Chain A
Amino acid sequence: MLKNNSSSIEMSQNNKNINWKNTLFVIFDKGSTTIGLALLFIIMSIITTDFLTVDNLVNVMRQSSVLCIMAVAMTFIIITGGIDLSAGSQLAVSGVAVSGLIVAGVPIPLAILLTIIIGGLIGLFMGTVISTQNIPPFIVTLAMLTILSGIAFVYTEGTPIVVSDAVFREIGRGFIGPIPTAIVIMIIVAIIGHLLLSHTRFGRYVYTIGDNEEAARLCGINVKLVKTSVYAFGGAIMAIAGIVLASRLSSGSPNAGTGSELDAIAAVVLGGTNLFGGEGKISGTLMGVAIISILNNGLNLLNVSSYNQLMIKGVVILLAVWLNSIKARRKASV
């Protein structure tokens, strides 16, 4: 009797141990990005005096708006199992385009609309090549990275097109009520992205194609159309990011946005999106963007030199992706 008792106590303790461990893993599984973001936030608040101020936080968000808009588009593309290496050049092209149009006297709303259409067409072209010619997205967008960059340089002859229009500047620097316009645009893009991805057929098809293209096709989904649409949609969104950036800089520069595609990809991956497709969420991407932006801002506040910042950012990305892969392995072994 006594023996039985003690062994049952032992058992229940064992169970408790297991439960405790499991809970910890579940939290880790579900929220490693959230935890990372929270830790980063707390650490920055403690070690710098200026981080945790309303002004600074609004500033962080405003600075992150361009990256965030790009990352939303990139999330769609990566979930289909693709990638867009030309995003940075698309930023440059759309910045140059909108500035050029405004300088040429096109009314601002029309200039913006035309630029978004140009962005959409660039995406449409890439999407068509990728989905109908079966060339890997990596190659197509890598080629477009240089082509688009070349176009931006040729069009501007290497010098930024300065826009002195005060109204245009409002997009990147102005406010709607107390909130910076750029943040409002970013939020709208994120909401549209989320609704499309999680609440429409289109979004569900995006996931399906990223996971099993053949199964998608056999379920009657027009895989080519969906893929092409994703790049076209992505192109239009990248153009919006380019417009916001041009407005903030008051100019369209062929150098603007260089390398930013890598930040966008990093943000998406940090947010838990599977780089091989089929999995991911806009909410995750937003957190990924927040991590990169807070890291940038915090390191600036700490007066870390920009070269060291590069290294630290890289290490953080590697760490986060490593954690994600542990998660994936754990899932696979269960």
Chain B
Amino acid sequence: MNSPIIELKHITKSFSGVKALTDVSLTVHPGSVHALVGENGAGKSTLMKILTGAYSKSSGEIFYKGEKVENMDPKTSKKLGIHCIYQELNVANYLTVAENVFLGSQPVNKLGLIDWKQMNQTAKEIFASLQINLDPKQMAKDISIAQKQMIEIARAISQDAKILIMDEPTSSLSERETEILLSLVTELKNKGVSILYISHRMDEIFKVCDTVTVLRDGKYIKSLPMSEVKDVDSLVELMVNRKMESYFNKIEVPIGETILDVQNLSKTGVLNNINFNLRSGEILGIAGLVGSGRTEIAQALFGMLKKDAGEILIDNKKVEIKGPSDAIKLGIGFVTENRKETGLVLKQTVRDNISLPNLRKYTTNLFINKKAEKKESEDYKKKLNIKTRSIEQTISTLSGGNQQKAIISRWMIQEPRILILDEPCRGVDVGAKAEIFAQISKLAEQGVGIIMISSEIAEIVGMSDRTIVMREGTLAGELEKDMITSDNILKLAFGGGISA
């Protein structure tokens, strides 16, 4: 095997006395894809930040091509060709695709003005070499998230990246976009670029990675070639150090009356004549590619999207839902897909975030009864096992999974009849995932009708009693019980037939 491009040896990092990383080692070879896995808070990000120079290590050594790097600061890291593509994309919306590729290093002509011709040409060449189909002259605001990600990758390539760190690159991509990204990863690998691949999605890791390093609680657990990893379960076991019987704690419950009936729901260009219903105690999965209209169904039900035609019936009665407050009054709760943008109130405490839509409940006369509010938040903290020092902690300090639990608590307190969950486990670590699914099952057991939208087909298969699959704004098909398989879902989502 060729000699390693970068080696981290016995890295320890502590923040004011608290150890975030203890004795972690990592060896990356050129032209390989190296997965870094672990639950949220296992130290993956910290390790990457040490590599990019954002943090300085407390002890340990870093070697680049066998030579010791004394001081890894952001400048050195860049010079060595280490680039990171973060979850939050760094793309200026009102610049063109090409400008974004060369952000900060736009080619200039003799007069010192931007050389547009050369810039567009070079961008085109880079795209061609990576087999990316993107017009350099397009405005960045008009392209998809997946394409923005490609801009970032092209940017790294234009700066001659040797090591590319990808932090959850597929978390907001659809199935098909993920495929494209994964083939791009392989393309990069063939060009000799080393890739450090951080992901919660096991199937991707099995697809593209050569080696995997497992971290747990800031400690180095194991590095091994993917060929030696038996299956997903054995990898997950290393990560969580306890046997995962199943992520999904699906409980079979008797399914009741129809509580929600959606008829001919349409919105020009987005939703086309959608019909489905939901019964109490039922978990209805909505699958489909990103942009197929899944989220839009939820938004229409929650009064965020004005429908052009169609009826929504709750308990066989026609209802008008003009805004979120109408939906809430009808007993609908909605956990949105973008926690940070549309769910959390980041500067506030865990308690504030849990009680937000429920304040009316604690209000007597004019004033909020803070004792009652605290008590209920405290109850839910225990019930959902929200890991936080105190409910008075600012919510931004919690991990994604615990933030999500707080948001779910928020709606549980409302005692909704219908709970819509859009990507409930996006960016949530394995342990918290199991806990969240257990809660969803429990709610169904109590007779709540659950609509669960997910890009992770395994989640849909594992959790739903019935599944509808969306394709380009139309309902491509409905699957019952045993028919809910990855195969069938994918076929419907991509426009094929299904088989029993």
Residues in A whose Cβ lies below 8 Å from that of B352: 204, 207-208
Question: Which chain A residues in 1-55 approach chain B with CB under 8 Å?
Answer: 14-15, 18, 22
Q: A208-B356, A211-B345, A278-B347 are in contact. Are A200 and B366 (CB under 8 A)?
A: yes
Contact with B along A210-251 (1 / 0, CB 8 A): 011011111111100000000000000000000000000000
Tell me, yes or no, whether A57 is within 8 Å of chain B by CB. Answer: no
Interface residues of A in 280-318 (CB under 8 A from B): none
Cβ-defined contact, A215 with B342, below 8 A: yes
Query: Is B348 touching A207 in the complex (CB atoms < 8 A)?
Result: yes
Contacts of B471 in A (CB 8 A): none
A12 to B357, CA, bound (A): 46
Write out the residue numbers on chain A whose beta carbons fall within 8 Å of the beta carbon of B357. 219-221
Contact with B along A58-101 (1 / 0, CB 8 A): 00000000000000000000000000000000000000000000
Pairwise interchain contact A201-B360, C-beta atoms closer than 8 A:
yes
If A199-B368, A204-B352, A208-B348 touch, whether A218 touches B343 (CB-CB below 8 Å) is yes
Task: Give complex CA distance A274, B343 in Å.
Answer: 21
Instruction: Report the bound CA distance from A219 to B304 in whole Å.
Output: 12
CB neighbours of B341 from chain A (8 A): 212, 214
Closest to A217 in B: B324
Q: Nearest chain-A residue to B355 (Cβ)? A: A204
How far apart are A277's CB and chain B's nearest CB, in angstroms? Answer: 9
Contacts of B16 on A, CB cut-off 8 Å? 18, 22
A214 touches B359 (CB 8 A): no
* Chain B residues whose C-beta falls within 8 Å of the C-beta of A216 in the assembled complex: 345, 356
Say how far A216's CB is from chain B's closest CB, in angstroms: 8
Docked CA distance A18–B329 (Å): 51
Cross-interface CB contact of B346 among A195, A212, A222, A334, cutoff 8 Å: A212
Q: How far is the CB of B13 from chain A (nearest CB, A)?
A: 14
Q: Which of B17, B342, B346, B397 is A214 in contact with, Cβ under 8 Å?
A: B342
**Is A261 at the interface (CB under 8 A from chain B)?**
no
Assess whether B325 is in contact with A220, with CB atoms less than 8 Å apart.
yes
For residue A263, CB closer than 8 A to chain B, the reply is no
Interface positions, chain B 178-226, Cβ under 8 Å from A, are none
The dominant DSSP class at the A interface is helix
As a 0/1 sequence over residues 252 to 276 of chain A, the CB contacts with chain B under 8 angstroms (1 = contact) are 0000000000000000000000100
The answer to whether B410 has its CB under 8 Å from any CB of chain A is yes
Q: How many A-B residue pairs have CB under 8 A?
A: 77
Give every chain A residue within 8 A of B304 (Cβ-Cβ). 218
- Is A215 a contact of B343 with CB atoms below 8 Å? yes
Q: Decide: A200 and B344 in contact? CB cutoff 8 A.
A: no
> When each residue 92-122 of chain A gets 1 if its CB lies under 8 Å from chain B and 0 otherwise, what string results?
0000000000000000000000000000000
Please name the residue on chain A nearest to B304 by beta carbon: A218
Residues facing A in B461-480 (CB within 8 A) are none
Cβ of A218 and Cβ of B345 under 8 Å apart? no
B346 lies within 8 A of A211 (CB): yes
B337 to chain A, nearest CB (A): 12
Q: Is the CB of B347 within 8 A of A219?
A: no
User: Which residue of chain B is the closest to A279 with respect to CB atoms?
Assistant: B347
Nearest CB on B from A192, distance (A): 11
Q: Min CB distance, B268 to chain A, in Å?
A: 23
A15 adjacent to B345 (CB under 8 Å): no
Q: Are B324 and A220 in contact (CB under 8 A)?
A: yes
Q: Is the CB of B348 within 8 A of A201?
A: no
Contacts of A212 in B (CB 8 A): 341-342, 344-346
Report the bound CA distance from A204 to B329 in whole Å. Answer: 20
Q: Is the CB of A219 within 8 A of B346?
A: no
**In contact, A211 and B348 (Cβ under 8 angstroms):** yes
With contacts A218-B302, A218-B336 known, is A201 near B359, CB below 8 A? yes
Mark contacts of B65-81 with chain A using CB atoms, 8 A cut-off: 1 yes-contact digit, 0 otherwise.
Answer: 00000000000000000
A204–B324 Cα distance when bound, in Å, is: 18
Known: A218-B304, A219-B356, A220-B357. A208 touches B345 (CB 8 A): yes
Q: Does B158 contact A (CB under 8 A)?
A: no
Q: In the assembled complex, which residues on chain A have CB atoms less than 8 Å from the CB atom of B346?
A: 211-212
**B408, CB-defined interface residue at 8 Å:** no
Residues of A within 8 A of B345 (CB): 207-208, 211-212, 215-216, 278
Bound CA–CA A204/B359 (angstroms): 9
In the docked arrangement, what's the CA distance between A222 and B322, Å? 12
Point out residues on A near B: beta carbons under 8 Å.
Answer: 14-15, 18, 22, 195, 199-201, 204, 207-208, 211-212, 214-222, 274, 278-279, 334
Question: Other than the known A195-B367, A218-B336, what 18 A-B pairs have Cβ atoms closer than 8 Å?
Answer: A15-B17, A22-B16, A204-B352, A204-B368, A207-B345, A208-B348, A214-B342, A215-B342, A215-B344, A215-B345, A218-B302, A218-B324, A218-B342, A219-B324, A219-B410, A220-B327, A278-B348, A334-B397
Q: List 25 A-B contacts (CB under 8 A).
A: A18-B17, A195-B367, A199-B367, A200-B368, A201-B368, A204-B359, A204-B368, A207-B348, A207-B352, A211-B345, A211-B348, A212-B342, A212-B344, A212-B346, A215-B342, A215-B343, A215-B356, A216-B345, A218-B302, A218-B304, A218-B343, A220-B327, A221-B325, A278-B345, A334-B397
Nearest 6 Cβ contacts at the A-B interface: A219-B357, A220-B325, A220-B328, A278-B347, A201-B359, A211-B345
